[in-house]
Amino acid sequence: MSLLESITDNFSEERIIGRGGFADVYKGPVAVKKLKLQVSSEDMVPVLEEKFYQEICSLMMAKHKNVVRFLGYCADAQGKVYNIAGKNIVGEERQRFLCFEFLPGSLDKHISDASRGLEWRTRYQIIKGICEGLHHLHQQKIVHSDLKPANILLDHDMVPKIADFGLAKCFNEGQTSAITKNVFGSQGYMAPEFYRGVVTFRSDIYSLCIIIQEILTGTKEYLLVENESNEHLLVENESNLSLIKVWYY
């Protein structure tokens, strides 16, 4: 814990390089991901704890050139006095951290009209790297569940590395799907069945198709399309919807 405090200047705001609903990421010699365990709902605490250990499990299994390199973790708990309704109550303050190799950027910063100047060879290599990284995860029975440009980091040579395994699921041998009551994800990249809490390998393929189209077109425009359950889903654009269906189904 003291080491992580020293390399992040005691987790100063100036060191933050990424924010999410469940964690902040700090820059140091390595990237330090600090989970947000201080939540308003007590029901969310076990969910966040599960996410922490699920991410560790996934990262220890996922060693590949196109997956961010996991360096270690810290699970710290210390006694703390809380003043509640005028009474001092001794409780436990829990902090959870994950450490990764530091990478200078992410794919979402390169998907815009201004990024269309990327060489086609570079775009191809990025797509190829993402596919190879995802293929490796699926071979290890890992469903990422939150594949999107912001979760694909790029090194100085524009080599992509899949990151952020907080929503990942580790399947048993022969398992092809799972049901979850806690549906978290990013609109625009979530497969239709995922909205109903069904997690499958195909869910990642759906997200991959959206990412590939964004890399090729340089746009992030979405429109609402109804699925078979009359739920409104976000997809890239109507002209490319047929391509998604071919790849996905």
Place of tokens 């190829």: 128
**Residues noted as catalytic:** 146
The span from the CA of 164 to the CA of 147, in Å, is 9
Q: What length is written for the chain?
A: 249
| Amino acid identity for residue 206 in this structure | Y
Residue 118 confidence (pLDDT): 79
**93: enclosing H helix or E strand:** strand 87-100
CA angle 106, 135, 73 (to 5 degrees): 55
Place of tokens 């003043």: 83
pLDDT tens-digit map of 115-150: 456 788 999 999 999 999 999 999 999 999 899 999
Q: Which residues, other chains included, contact 91 with Cβ-Cβ below 8 Å and sequence gap of 6+? A: 79, 80, 81, 82
Among 12-21, 41-50, 225-234, the range with the most confident prediction by mean pLDDT is 12-21
Asked whether the predicted pLDDT for residue 56 surpasses 70, the reply is yes
Among 5-9, 43-47, 76-80, the range with the most confident prediction by mean pLDDT is 5-9
In which band, very low, low, confident or very high, does the pLDDT at 178 lie, cut at 50, 70 and 90?
confident
The span from the CA of 244 to the CA of 225, in Å, is 13
Domains and CATH numbers, the chain: 2-100 (3.30.200.20), 105-248 (1.10.510.10)
5-8: Cβ within 8 A, 24+ apart:
7/32, 8/32
pLDDT tens-digit map of 23-49: 899 999 999 999 876 544 456 666 677
In angstroms, what CA-CA distances link 212 with 41, 112, 167? 37, 13, 21
Q: How many CA atoms lie within 13 A of 38 on its CB side?
A: 6
Mean pLDDT, the chain, whole residue set: 80
In which band, very low, low, confident or very high, does the pLDDT at 238 lie, cut at 50, 70 and 90?
very low
Asked whether the predicted pLDDT for residue 78 surpasses 90, the reply is no
In which band, very low, low, confident or very high, does the pLDDT at 222 lie, cut at 50, 70 and 90?
low
Asked whether the predicted pLDDT for residue 112 surpasses 90, the reply is no
Place of tokens 């090729």: 216
More confident residue, 211 or 220: 211
Residue 126 confidence (pLDDT): 95
Residue 131 confidence (pLDDT): 97
What's the whole-number mean pLDDT along residues 91-108? 87
Report the percentage of the chain scoring pLDDT > 70. 77
Instruction: Write out the two tokens for 20.
Output: 């999410």
Sign of CA dihedral 21, 146, 200, 137: negative
Asked if residue 154 lies in contact with residue 162, where contact means CB atoms within 8 angstroms, the answer is no
